[in-house]
Amino acid sequence: MSRLTRPLLLTLALHPAARLPAQTLSGETPRPWAANIVVPQCRSFGTTHPDALHIAGVDVQVSIVEQVATTTMDIRLTNPTSRRLEAELLVPVPDGAAVRGFAFDGAASQPTAQLLPADEARRTYEAIVAQIKDPALLEFVGCNLVRSSVFPVEAGGAQRVRLTYEHLLSADGDRMDYVLPRSEALGQVTPWNVSVQIKSARPISTVYSPSHPVDTRRSGDGAVTVNLQKTAATEPGSFRLSCLKGGSGVSASLMAYPDAKGDGGYFLLLAGLPEKPANADAKPMKREVTLVIDRSGSMSGEKIEQVKEAAKQIVGALDEGESFNIYIYNDGVQAFSPAAVAKSSGTVKLASGFIEAVTANGGTNIHDALLQALSQPATPDTVPLVLFMTDGLPTVGNTSEMAIRNVAMQSNPHQRRIFTFGVGYDVNAPLLQKISDETRAASTFVLPDEDVEVKVAGVFKRLQGPVLTGAQLTTTTADNAKTVAVMDLIPDKLPDLFEGDQLVLLGRYLHADAGLRFTLNGAFMGQPRTFAFTFPLEKATTRNAFIPRLWASRRIA
């Protein structure tokens, strides 16, 4: 920001282990509200005239070092009127936050910002609501509040305002949670750009947002960058991020929401794997990859060319000792080989020629394509993966949705994991999703304006190095006896976990005063392994209201 003026009068030096107390500037006397109050998490409010200021966008940069988070908000305002407007900023912030800086463009009085504790913040919210008759601010009751000095927004002009605050993240064992308060109102249309950089001396097992879709990029064992996806720029609700630090095996943490009747509640179990196994001699299991490519007439043109390029990239990216096969289908089904072949320079060259010769024509025989791909002989000591692509509904052969689903569930003797790709709008999305869920895999959908090659290659890149396969989760008592303490799990069948992967499990818990004890069994790095986790429930809180909402939305879906 090129012309932001003068630093805030209040500065605070922090030590990562220090407790961050609430701060209030002394000497402040009550003053009337400005004509416009800007609450970037919600909207702008006109105290003397109808709303005039427009919040054009909010850019948020977050730096998390160990357990201390520094949040910098750049708020872009526009004034469409022909008169100069005075405004001030109200920003709900987490408990324990401390203001580090406040500035805005242009010459004006010395910028200041006052941090109000939760009780005073509540009175402030109620006073504004009483004046403007709008209850929108009351959803932030419980947060602390930053109130800025008055600043100008010139007629027909724009103003940029920057606020920086720090706070100590709440932590539960190896998990720490970051929350950026925002409105839950669906009418909020201001675009937000959120980027979070996390640095830790310990390896980071997984990073997960239960509130918004994010893109995650690792630059080391203890360094992760998380960006809010552009498609979610206007999605409402507080932005939440949980970071789980790991060790040599599976790390796990649990968040819970108590039921109002006291008969249990809802939980979110977050588990992750190390980016790389601590044991250098341990090797992930080999993969057997089967590509099943739709070459019906609707795939003609750019789509089939993108799919062919993705197929060649996948075959070429396999590790030595891994195996592959290719099936192409339209009215009928044609295989590259009767069974999967080991990757070598010779088989890669032959596969490239087979792929290059593919043309698009005919109908869509999904049933037979699935049946043949799943019936081929298995490659010993591998994790069998199927990448199944289609751009339409079944039109040839057995077109029954139930029959196609039963192929995946009942005619899959080698327990192949079926990763489905729906290309375009004319696909049976629930069917593809069900096939993936039932086979420990995932589904991906490619919109008409998206690149099929990029989407397919991106999914395959995440399937590097199977680490935990065939996972089974049970709940037990303290003496390891099985018990039914949880129900309505989502997903009900656990997926395989790959290098740097994560497991997100939602469910309901029943009477569990002694806490929840989970036992996770599976093949870890190809060897049978059992992990046990015990989670006390005294930290279950209604502040985790996002958990039952997330569970319900997944359940409905």
- Of the listed ranges 65-74, 200-209, 315-324, the one predicted with least confidence: 200-209
Distance CA 276, CA 373 (A): 32
pLDDT confidence band for 16 (50 / 70 / 90):
very low
Residue 299: the pLDDT is 92
What pLDDT sits at residue 546?
A: 86
Tell me what the mean pLDDT of segment 136-148 comes to: 86
Whether residue 78 is predicted with pLDDT greater than 50 in this model: the reply is: yes
Q: Pick from 354, 391, 390: which is nearest to 369 by CA?
A: 390
The whole-angstrom separation of Cα 490 and Cα 494 is 9
**Which residues, including other chains, have CB under 8 Å from residue 351's CB and lie 6 or more apart?**
312, 315, 324, 326, 336
Mean pLDDT: which of 33-47, 206-220, 271-285, 511-525 is highest?
Answer: 206-220
User: Is-contact 75 158, C-beta < 8 A?
Assistant: no
pLDDT in tens, 202-216: 888 889 999 999 999
Using the structure block, give the residue that is written with the tokens 């490619």. 446
Q: Are 336 and 326 in contact (CB under 8 A)?
A: yes
Residue 6: predicted pLDDT: 40
Residue 129: pLDDT over 50: yes
The band of 340, judged by pLDDT with boundaries at 50, 70 and 90, is very high
Q: What's the CA gap between 20 and 169, in Å, rounded?
A: 10
Query: What does the pLDDT average to over 27-52?
Result: 76
pLDDT in tens, 376-420: 999 998 999 999 999 888 999 999 999 999 999 899 999 999 999
In this predicted structure, what is the pLDDT of residue 30? 58
In the structure, what pLDDT confidence band is assigned to residue 248 with cuts at 50, 70 and 90?
low
234 residue type, one letter: T
Give the residue with greater pLDDT, 540 vs 11. Answer: 540
- pLDDT of 513 > 60? The answer is yes
Q: What is the mean pLDDT of residues 361-369?
A: 95
Q: Report the chain's mean pLDDT, rounded to a whole number.
A: 84
The proportion of the chain whose per-residue pLDDT surpasses 70, expressed as a percent, equals: 89
Res 336: pLDDT = 97
49-53, 114-118, 322-326, range with the lowest pLDDT: 49-53
Length of the chain: 557
Average pLDDT over residues 421-426: 88
261, pLDDT greater than 80: no
Of all residues in the chain, what percent carry a pLDDT higher than 90?
39
Other beta carbons within 10 angstroms of residue 187's beta carbon come to 9
| pLDDT attached to residue 426 | 85
C-alpha span between 178 and 91 (Å, rounded)? 16
Q: How far apart are the first and last CA of the chain?
A: 42
Q: Predicted confidence band at 341 (pLDDT cuts at 50, 70, 90)?
A: very high
Indicate the pLDDT class of residue 457, thresholds 50, 70 and 90. confident
Mean pLDDT of 322-332: 96
pLDDT > 60? residue 12? no
Q: Does residue 260 have a pLDDT over 50?
A: yes
Give the tens place of pLDDT for each residue, 151-191: 889 999 999 999 999 998 887 888 899 999 998 887 778 89
* DSSP-derived secondary structure for 175-208: EEEEEE-----TT----EEEEEEEE-SSPEEEEE
Report the predicted TM-score, pTM, of the whole model to 2 decimal places. 0.70
In whole angstroms, what is the distance from residue 89 CA to residue 182 CA? Answer: 14
Confidence label for 364 from pLDDT (cuts 50, 70 and 90): very high
Residue 27 — very low, low, confident or very high, per pLDDT cuts 50/70/90?
very low
Q: Is 344 exposed, middle or buried (0-12, 13-18, 19+ CB in 10 A)?
A: exposed
Angle separating helix axes 401-410 and 366-375, nearest 10 degrees: 10
Concatenated DSSP letters of 410-469 = HS-TT--EEEEEEESSSS-HHHHHHHHHHTT--EEEE-TTS-HHHHHHHHHHHT-SEEEE
Q: How confident is the model at residue 26 (pLDDT cuts 50, 70, 90)?
A: very low
Does the pLDDT at position 197 exceed 50? Answer: yes
- Taking only the tens place, the pLDDT of each residue in 477-499 is 655 656 667 888 888 888 888 87
Task: Indicate if the pLDDT at residue 19 is higher than 60.
Answer: no
* CB half-sphere exposure, 218, CA atoms < 13 A: 17
Least confident of 42-51, 227-236, 306-315: 42-51
